[in-house]
Chain A
Amino acid sequence: MTLLAAIRPDDWNFPLFLHILGAMVLVGALVLVVTSIAADNLRLGFRTLLIAVIPSWIVMRVAAQWIADKEHVDDLDPVPAWVDIGYSTSEGSFLLLIAATVCAGIAARRARGGGLRTAVLVLVAISLVAYVVAIWAMSTKPS
């Protein structure tokens, strides 16, 4: 796998670049959501979810599929564990992020957090933990 990483074909580079860029913006934006919601800035948290988190998730996920198609990893039997981990964390977390965005939007509209604020923090924290696991899976590639 070390050698494979070192001699990756050139036409994999652009989708990989988009995948990692999307993932980096996604994680960075999620941390900003946590810090802004924790500081009771519900409006910034909601806007970050809407403008940065959801679009970067889409870029990350579409680019992931693009490079998976190029590498033909979905055709392998069995599909490698790191690919399954990537799919399950990204798709599972998307539902959490949608729920977090709705909760943050309602909380920002009401201009008070309460239970919705806590819900956003929990949903985003779970997503962040899932993404650290995904980063581990993508880099160590457990079989």
Chain B
Amino acid sequence: MYDWLLFLHLLAAFMLAVTVVTYTAVALGAPAEGRAMFVADRCWDVGGLGTLVLGIWLALYLDEYGFFDGWILGAIGLWVIATGLGQTVQRRTAAGETAAVATMHWLRTLTVLGLLVLMIWKPGA
């Protein structure tokens, strides 16, 4: 059970990477083409929900961790920030304001990187 939860949690995290890489290409000057942006946005939706739900499930499943551990609460906080930034980036990119979203995209990228750091180091666990 744990193995499959971890596999699906990781798969969801990899979907977030699809979004980050695609929007990085756009931030660096690549055209925001419909099909690529659609795939990137759906990956963000599914990956975001998957990482949160499966991550909390994993935390509750393992005796070693508790829901109120600092690194888990920190991860949920970063997830909320990344989601807010992601929705804004999606909305503004769809409106054609690609130049205006670069800063928000880089902030989102840093937030996702922060989530990965928390998942690996698990400070306080």
Is there an interface contact between A28 and B20, defined as CB atoms closer than 8 Å? Answer: yes
Secondary structure type dominating chain B contacts = helix
Q: How far is the CB of B11 from chain A (nearest CB, A)?
A: 6
Interface size grouping (class) on chain B: 35 or more
Q: Which of B25-76 contact A (CB under 8 A)?
A: 25, 30-31, 33-36, 39-40, 43, 62, 64-65
Q: Residues of A within 8 Å of B, CB-based: how many?
A: 35
Contacts of B20 in A (CB 8 A): 28
Given contacts A2-B62, A6-B62, A28-B14, contact A35 B22 (CB under 8 A): yes
Is there an interface contact between A27 and B7, defined as CB atoms closer than 8 Å? Answer: no
Q: How far is the CB of B120 from chain A (nearest CB, A)?
A: 5
Let me know if B21 is at the binding interface, CB within 8 A: yes
Q: Which residue of A lies closest to B112 (CB)?
A: A24
Within the assembled complex, what's the spacing in Å between the Cα atoms of A21 and B11? 13
Is there an interface contact between A140 and B4, defined as CB atoms closer than 8 Å? Answer: yes
Let me know if A58 is at the binding interface, CB within 8 A: no
Is there an interface contact between A44 and B35, defined as CB atoms closer than 8 Å? Answer: no
Let me know if B117 is at the binding interface, CB within 8 A: yes
Q: Which residue of B lies closest to A43 (CB)?
A: B30
Let me know if B89 is at the binding interface, CB within 8 A: no
Given contacts A6-B64, A28-B17, contact A39 B35 (CB under 8 A): yes
Contacts of A32 in B (CB 8 A): 18, 21-22, 25, 36, 40
Is there an interface contact between B14 and A135, defined as CB atoms closer than 8 Å? Answer: yes
Report A17-40 CB contacts with B as 1/0, cut-off 8 Å: 100110111011101100110110
Within the assembled complex, what's the spacing in Å between the Cα atoms of A35 and B23? 13
Given contacts A13-B121, A32-B18, A44-B25, contact A139 B39 (CB under 8 A): no
Let me know if B6 is at the binding interface, CB within 8 A: yes
Let me know if B80 is at the binding interface, CB within 8 A: no
Contacts of B33 in A (CB 8 A): 35-36, 39, 41
Contacts of B11 in A (CB 8 A): 132, 135
Let me know if B78 is at the binding interface, CB within 8 A: no
27 inter-chain pairs at a CB distance below 8 angstroms, sorted by A residue, are A6-B62, A6-B64, A6-B65, A6-B125, A13-B121, A21-B116, A24-B13, A24-B14, A24-B16, A25-B21, A27-B18, A28-B17, A28-B18, A28-B19, A29-B21, A32-B18, A32-B21, A32-B36, A35-B40, A39-B36, A41-B33, A44-B31, A48-B25, A136-B7, A139-B6, A140-B3, A140-B6
